[in-house]
Amino acid sequence: MEQPRETGLGDDGPGDIKRKYLAEAGLILYSDAPVMFRPSDIYRLGKDPGFREVLRGSNIYLICRRHRVSIDPLSLEVKGGDLYGDFLVHGEGYQEWEPVSFTLTPAQLGRTSPPIPFVAVRADSAAGHGIVLAEQTGHTVEMSCAVLATQSKHKLGDNTKLEVLYVGQTFGAKGDRLAVDRLSRHTTLQRILADVADQCGRDEVLLLGLTYGRAKNMLSSAGNRWVEPSATSEEEHAHWKKTGGQTFTRKDRILLAEAALINYFKPHYNLQHLDSFSTKERRRKLKTLQSLFREDFSALMVEISTSAIGAKLWSAAAPRSRGEMLFTASKVAEMRANSLKADPPMPSSEFDEFIRDHVMVHIAQYALYDPTERETFLHGLHWGE
């Protein structure tokens, strides 16, 4: 993860720092809620129209790994229209696991309004990969263990964390290629599955499909206040007008998101873009960044949020999100106490959701120039490692 650097400003002033505009422009790309699915779904549901519709527009995909979480088939029961059972968190040994109870109500499932009570449940297999729920109307709902963990109430905690092993993109000639089609013939996914199989079932592989359909142009004057911009007032106004309304093609957004996320997470199985942003020479040579250079942007920020699936992302290069670093246990306790003193007090569920939304967001952000070449607002933002 590349952190904004100190400006190097001392008592003698800005030194070699240069500024082109007072307000520099950056592009921010936002992900929608990810779609999580299993490798087996590629073949089991790959041709299903409903599944394909859910994945439509998910041009970025992540291949992730975590300790296997399954369902204890013998623990499942329906009481009072709600579902109760246990997850099994698998350990290092072949037959080591820890039970974690869960509850799923029809309201949490959110399939219908008003909610329809559950009347029966069974595991889809002895291995507990998923469940089949029967509603009072006779309708059945199939749900994988991974999806059940995103919908139900439980205390799995960091057992839901996902290690990012690979980041890729699927666009196609017309931008309509789905991740499920790309992954059905993906040699790196096959290699990952083979490596995980050698671990005797300890880990599982999960796939995330992400849509980068939202973008925002940011103009900021943050930075070294001693540096006089080289642009005239007329050039400043033209730059503000041009970059403020600039749009980028969907293909540009997808390629930028892929390169930034790979450089940020540095996944073990990726080979390209691992250090594409590390030096100005590499940034200049990177074809993906040419659309930003051409339109006179000086920063790129790519956000990825997994709050909707309740799972934090991590890698060796990005073990924690910035939210996790800022919201320490003591800080959260202090904030919770203050929220209860507010008038009116913040509901506990609302506070928990606020914290979750912040700790489950990673932001890959890069200044496209060195400060001695052209300072941007990212150079003026400081935070701890």
Question: Residue 15: which of 375, 259, 273 has the closest Cα?
Answer: 375
Residue 298, Cβ density class (10 Å: 0-12 exposed, 13-18 middle, ≥19 buried):
buried
pLDDT value, residue 382: 55
> In whole angstroms, what is the distance from residue 262 CA to residue 62 CA?
10
Q: Region 284-305: what's the mean pLDDT?
A: 93
Q: Which of 258, 276, 272, 265 is nearest to 210 (CA)?
A: 258
- Report whether pLDDT(4) > 70: no
pLDDT per residue as tens digits for the range 109-127 = 887 788 999 999 999 999 9
Average pLDDT over residues 93-118: 89
Per-residue pLDDT tens digits for 27-59: 999 999 999 999 999 999 999 999 999 999 899
Please report where in the chains the tokens 């993860």 appear, as a residue: 1
What pLDDT score does 278 carry? 85
323-358 pLDDT, tens per residue? 888 888 899 899 999 988 888 889 888 888 888 888
Does 300 have pLDDT greater than 60?
A: yes
Average pLDDT of the chain, as a whole number = 89
> Which string of b and e fits 324-361 if b means at least 16 CB within 10 Å?
beebeeeeeeeeeeeeeeeeeebeeeebeeeebebbbb
pLDDT beyond 50 at 5: no
Predicted confidence at residue 1, as pLDDT, reads: 40
134-143, 198-207, 300-309 — which is least confidently predicted? Answer: 198-207
- DSSP 3-state of 274: coil
193-226: per-residue pLDDT in tens?
999 988 767 899 999 999 998 899 999 988 777 8
Q: 114 preceded by cis ω (within 30°)? A: yes
CA distance 379 to 377: 5
Q: Single out the residue of 295, 210, 293 nearest to residue 257, CA to CA.
A: 210
Q: What is the pLDDT of residue 200?
A: 66
Residue 385, pLDDT above cutoff 60: no
Task: Name the E strands within the chain.
Answer: 24-30, 35-37, 60-67, 69-71, 77-79, 82-90, 97-104, 118-123, 130-135, 140-144, 153-154, 162-169, 203-210, 214-220, 299-305, 313-314, 361-367
Confidence of residue 176 (pLDDT cuts 50, 70, 90): confident
Given this model, what pLDDT does residue 276 score? 86
Percent of the chain with pLDDT over 90: 66
